Structure 1
């Protein structure tokens, strides 16, 4: 047997004890957003630090202004391959509404379905304790079977991901030299479907804007001033309606500067995934794609930039009527960015456009919000090719290279602060009920997830 075969065999034989360890972690009520669970969050951090240290990755609990980080290293001298930094988070979402849980959220259990398939049910089973433990158990098997890991590994486990990661940025800043590696591995993602593994290679960026248009110095009686006085809601909605043309494209000057077209082999791969946009939209009671007419729905949500109005208000919105012309109107607008779009230039273009729409007796103010660029892993990355092959070897089918319509802040921080690309490999499924009652993680996701990480580590270590 090869070294990898021995490691995989150990993973299979130790699955029950791996599950027991996962259950021990799942029993810890590490709800980061609720101060009542502060001690539980520390308990989870200390548990993970002990586990990592015991398997041969010396780790410590690092205090922050919030919940602690767990940092561990096993640096092999002269090891081939990149030095990787694995990231996961041990904190979980609140359990509300508790009455919708079938059993205690922190009493993990195995549920066997009629078809014989099994799932792990508990808060944190999929997000992210089950996911991070797939990596820990893979590392455990490698060290136990071979005496070492095939390459140098660092581990960073966070305790505030579910509450906005307020301590993460200063922690990375203070520990930049220690945590800067060649490649980050992030587990907080999912598969394409139950049989098809995936690597998330693209994350859209974000620009957020809040706008206020003011006309008169007070709300006005619509009978006395209607028709003569400027209505800022009219002004604002007219400006917003001009942000898209009849084909669904954003009209801001130079908006598409930096947007990158996908390689033909990648779009061909997406075509082969069998994505059903009618089912996708039908699941939320919609029928017709509303974005750029010449783009598929997968392109629209993965690789194309967007402009969306997230909220708009002004005047009287309570019960009944108050017939006023409001003094001010407000809106929140967000832009999802792709490729090399510059968040600052998008913001500047938007503000210039809105200012140009203002009548002489209206003023507009903007409230500074956040912005971040899009991220993507180069399709010709050697690490990506090795990761895809490793996953294909385990799952028996080619790994999908997918995009993510949202953003994962830690990935941006790794790139901008530590100079690392991130390879996002996870084994969650759409129906895992993450953040909801009766959260679950498939037994196949846990078992084959461990085996997958073992294959990925082995593959990355080879020339």
Structure 2
């Protein structure tokens, strides 16, 4: 039945698109910067605005307090109001966030960041420019507007929906995770929908099928009990900078593989059909690295660049400090040197085991007279969808139909911590479908969202909801 009703819903989306755009503009005008206490009232205003808008669709919407900025919980069960056929239906939890990044530096914006406008991109695309246009107000409103269209045309949604919107994603969601834990019984669903990701290119949709996990560690090597004069002690006293750089330099072999014992335990290769699809995408060093002034992939030499970026684990030295770094010279042997190291992890790797393996690796290579101290900064496991997950297949078919080309199933090299939190706290897998583009300038001046992304994003979610409704129960 939902597919039989789909075309009128899509027609309504097209006819009502100007109104959809104005509703997005109303949200974009609210200065909901979560990092700055000066905008606390604006964050509350954004939550109130969204809750009121969603409630107008027939949801029960509440603004809920947290220890920080409020969250929104909105529910609809159209079976209870006569909108369904009484049969069990999929229940989805849709997630988004209304908070945005600060706008600094303001002088680099072409226009005021909270005065949204549709304008022309340099290549002729129509774009929406404003802070939050893509991240995440434009993205979350694609789903809200798809729900609006279904309700307007049919009086009901094809699946049961809970909408969950937070106000602290841009500051780490530190108060949102306890909120999830406190409300986990109320937030039960079959799976989550997350619209905070992107497309492969402006015309090719993408479903993000995995997110890399993270281990962030800091190591400090100490030797003498004070800085030493290199003329008096050079050659006889251990130099922590030399020790540290020697250890870090051994983290990779000549083929780009990480040498920490056990690092690759549990890491799986891609399914052959997915690897074949990725090869067809022709992501090359020339297209990806040349714009940033590079030309040679730095990862494992026997892996495609696209694998290095998305489906393989990594190790990076993010910062290193030691000795004298001021103006002029100072002939000193530093008493200590430190480095910050991050590991991006893939499915099968345990963050705790990776952290221990790294520390064991360092400790085993310490010479006499040196000791190491470690600081744990953060850690999160990788997330990966089952390639045979039925909602994934349904969403892919819907996107294929809307965009007229095959949807790319692609892992992300980044981490979205809330997805791991949904799995850990609520037991939910997340379907990540977004319509952002690499050139959207999120977190930067002149943030934008393609008008096409917003329009077809709404249509895409309408199709996905119809597809999910037909999943076997």
> Normalised by the shorter chain, which TM-score bucket?
over 0.9
1:319 aligns with 2:327: yes
Aligned partner (choices 95, 105, 112) of residue 104 of structure 1: 112
Question: Is the Cα contact below 8 Å between 2:284 and 2:305 reproduced in 1?
Answer: no
Partner of 1:331: 339
Partner of 2:73: 71
User: CA 1:115 to 1:330, structure 2 compared with 1: closer, same or farther past 3 Å?
Assistant: closer
Q: How far 1:100 moved relative to its partner?
A: 1.4
Tell me the TM-score normalized by structure 2: 0.96
Deviation track 1:280-318 (CA, whole Å, cap 9, x = no partner) reads 111111111111000011000111111111111111111
Partner of 1:140: 148
Aligned partner (choices 421, 446, 451) of residue 413 of structure 1: 421
**C-alpha separation between the residues in 1 aligned to 2:415 and 2:188?**
21
Please give the residue correspondences for 1:367-378 in structure 2 after superposition, counting only pairs within 5 Å.
367-378=375-386
> Equivalent residue of 1:105, what SS?
coil
Q: How far 1:162 moved relative to its partner?
A: 1.0
Partner of 1:87: 95
**C-alpha separation between the residues in 2 aligned to 1:91 and 1:437?**
16
1:393 aligns with 2:401: yes
Q: How far 1:51 moved relative to its partner?
A: 0.7
Partner of 2:25: 23
Partner of 1:4: 6
Q: How far 1:344 moved relative to its partner?
A: 1.0
User: CA 1:225 to 1:114, structure 2 compared with 1: closer, same or farther past 3 Å?
Assistant: closer
Please give the residue correspondences for 1:59-458 in structure 2 after superposition, counting only pairs within 5 Å.
59-77=61-79, 78-112=86-120, 117-458=125-466
Unaligned runs of 5+ in 2: 80-85
**C-alpha separation between the residues in 1 aligned to 2:346 and 2:331?**
43
Q: How far 1:2 moved relative to its partner?
A: 2.8
**C-alpha separation between the residues in 1 aligned to 2:281 and 2:58?**
40
> Equivalent residue of 1:300, what SS?
helix
Question: Is the Cα contact below 8 Å between 1:142 and 1:149 reproduced in 2?
Answer: yes
Deviation track 1:97-120 (CA, whole Å, cap 9, x = no partner) reads 111111111111111458764111
Q: How far 1:369 moved relative to its partner?
A: 2.2
Q: How far 1:81 moved relative to its partner?
A: 4.0
Unaligned runs of 5+ in 1: none
**Aligned pairs, number:** 463
> Equivalent residue of 2:449, what SS?
strand
Deviating beyond 3 angstroms after TM superposition, the runs of 4 or more aligned structure 1 residues are 76-81, 112-117
**C-alpha separation between the residues in 2 aligned to 1:282 and 1:79?**
54
Tell me the TM-score normalized by structure 1: 0.98
**C-alpha separation between the residues in 1 aligned to 2:227 and 2:297?**
39
User: CA 1:113 to 1:316, structure 2 compared with 1: closer, same or farther past 3 Å?
Assistant: closer
